[in-house]
Amino acid sequence: MAKDGTAWAGCAPAVAVASPWTNNGKKGNAARIEARTVEEHQLSLSVTGMSCAACVASVERVLSGVEGVRSVSVNLPLEKAVVQLEHPPSDGQQDACIAAVKGAGFGASALLPALEVRRHNEQNVAAQRRQVALAFALALPVFLLSMALDDLGSAGPLDLRLTLAMLAALPVYLYSGAEFHRQAWVALRRGTANMDVLVHLGTTVAMVWSCLVTLSPVLGFLPAFVGEAEHVFFDGAAFIIAFVLLGNLLEANAKLKATDAVHGLMRLQPKEAWVVVDEGTVGTPVEEIARGTLLKVRAGETVPLDGEVENSTALLDESMMTGESFPVRKNEGDTVSAGTIVLDSTLYVRTTSLVGDTMLANVIRLVDEAQTGKAPIQRLVDRVASVFVPVVVLAALLAAAVWWAMAETLAPNSSMAPSEMAIMVLVSTLVIACPCALGLATPTALVVGTGRGARYGLLIKGIEALEQAHATSTVVLDKTGTITAGA
């Protein structure tokens, strides 16, 4: 981008590729060597159990403490950690990184194949749907008992309505909210605080207070202000858990859709190819095909590897690589790319790349690196999130104390006792301040943006470039026939 805000684009039609792999000559070779050197010193891990930016900061902190680690970047939507090492990774170093993450209370493993990760995420979304449905089904009776009905009589010394509401709310708190409570204790044991801590504190305060009020007639050791209270918050605790679970489900769906572009590109890569031998052709996995192998690609099939055409001609659909919607005629000596589709006749291709070195593989790698990267604004968010939860807890306690002391002045016409007002303010402040959006908003937007761009042929080399694009005032493109037609 020029200093005056002008962006220049002049490569293949309809494609703005900011990639060293598309260049030719010495500069492209040097960039390729540099990129491979970075990859050789890189370790990627799958990390599960993160819920907010505070979790990201915890994972980055423990990984940075592993010997030989130069830098760490953790992506919350993709649940992925990229570790840059001083030397090529060994099995022992990978095990040390995984152990460090697990020691911090998160799940970790070697990065799984993308399609396997996709299936796991789909199963996770399905499980979360069932969990949300159960939570709301259990929370609804709590709401009806707490709000819709006035008086059901008594069960001995206890109020029957409050007792039934307590019994209905406990399964929501103990079962549906179990993961929040577990993750909160894990976070507190390692000396950090995250979204789960706020949900745990908010719902626990509401449940403990409500249970004490309900059981006060049979508990003689409680302070007088508890026995005098009339309001309970069983419905609030139950629906807080249900709605946070719903939010987690929406986030999981967003994560799943965010990776659609990369998986769409991966589906363009055939698993097998027809290798020409003396006896005819043999179906062979593309991973086993060496450079210089002659392949046969029939009409309607996808070119499996980059190569050059030999003794044949055919029309190819190259829209996935160039954005050009019209078929392109390929003759002997012309180059073809993996992922393009042969349309009208059989094509013979002499391979010039391995499966991991094709233009398609480099595009997938480029999009993946862009999605894994961290924008400058996200680094600021991470720093804020590291102190956000403790500040919220202090603010909630201060607000509760003020309302308890000044309830009659602040709300003179309220029917609630000062203690009840204080509890309501405390729970509300803790819950509405959950920092899940703080850690998810920026990376999810960047993942979706880079993925959507890849779907339309716009490849982003780095997140920094995407963030700076908002300052672009003019885009200048060479005339290629893609955006203009005629003379």
CATH code of 83's domain: 3.30.70.100
The answer to whether position 216 is within a domain reads no
What pLDDT shows up at residue 25? 40
**Residue 216 φ then ψ, to 5°:** -55, -35
Distance CA 66, CA 106 (A): 16
Q: Does 137 reside within a domain?
A: no
Q: How confident is the model at residue 379 (pLDDT cuts 50, 70, 90)?
A: low
Q: Which of 78, 111, 144 is the last residue of a domain?
A: 111
Give buried/exposed letters for 185-198 (b at 16+ CB in 10 A, else e).
ebbbeeebbbbbbb
What are the CA-CA distances from residue 168 to residues 165, 199, 238 (Å)? 5, 19, 9
* Residue with the larger pLDDT of the pair 8 and 428: 428
Confidence category of residue 222, pLDDT binned at 50, 70, 90: low
SS in 3 state form for 48-80?
Answer: ECCCCHHHHHHHHHHHHCCCCEEEEEEECCCCE
Provide mean pLDDT across the span 195-210. Answer: 86
Contact 103, 70 (CB under 8 A): no
| Distance between start and end Cα atoms, the chain | 29
The answer to whether residue 16 scores a pLDDT higher than 60 is no
Residue 167: inside a domain, yes or no?
A: no
Q: What is the mean pLDDT of residues 254-260?
A: 70
Mean pLDDT, all residues of the chain: 78
Per-residue model confidence as pLDDT tens digits over 164-173? 889 999 999 9
What is the pLDDT at residue 465?
74
- List the one residue out of 227, 433, 459 whose CA is nearest residue 322: 459
Query: How much is the pTM?
Result: 0.66
**CATH code for position 291:** 2.70.150.10
Residue 210 has pLDDT above 90, yes or no: no
**Residue 433, domain member (yes or no):** no
Residue 305 has pLDDT above 90, yes or no: yes
Q: Is a pLDDT exceeding 70 seen at residue 372?
A: no
Residue 316 inside a domain? The answer is yes
Identify which has the larger pLDDT, 454 or 244.
244
Position 149 pLDDT exceeds 60: no
| Chain segment 183-196, per-residue pLDDT in tens | 888 888 877 777 78
Average of pLDDT values for 290-313?
92
- Active centre residues (catalytic): 478
Domain tally, the chain: 2
Q: HSE (CB half, 13 Å, CA atoms) of 410?
A: 15
Q: Which residue in 100, 108, 104 sits closest to 81, CA to CA? A: 108
Of the candidates 111, 143, 166, which is a domain's last residue?
Answer: 111
Would you say 372 and 80 are in contact if contact means Cβ atoms under 8 Å apart?
yes
Q: Please report whether residue 453 resides in a domain.
A: no
Q: What is the pLDDT of residue 333?
A: 92
Query: Which tops the pLDDT comparison, 390 or 274?
Result: 274
**Is 253 part of any domain?**
no
Residue 426 in tokens: 């405390």
On the question of pLDDT at 80 being above 80, the answer is yes
Residue 136 — very low, low, confident or very high, per pLDDT cuts 50/70/90? very high
Q: Which two tokens stand for residue 469?
A: 């694009």
Which DSSP string do the residues of 9-50 spell out, in sequence order? E-SSTT-EE--GGG--HHHHHHHHHHHHHHHHTEEEEEEE--
**For residue 329, what are the β-bridge partners?**
315
Domain-ending residue, one of 357, 385, 420? 357
In the predicted model, what is the mean pLDDT of residues 227-243?
80
Structural domain range at position 296: 270-357
pLDDT given for residue 435 in this prediction: 56
Predicted pLDDT of residue 17: 39
- Looking at residues 331-352, what average pLDDT do you find? 92
Specify if 480 maps to a domain.
no
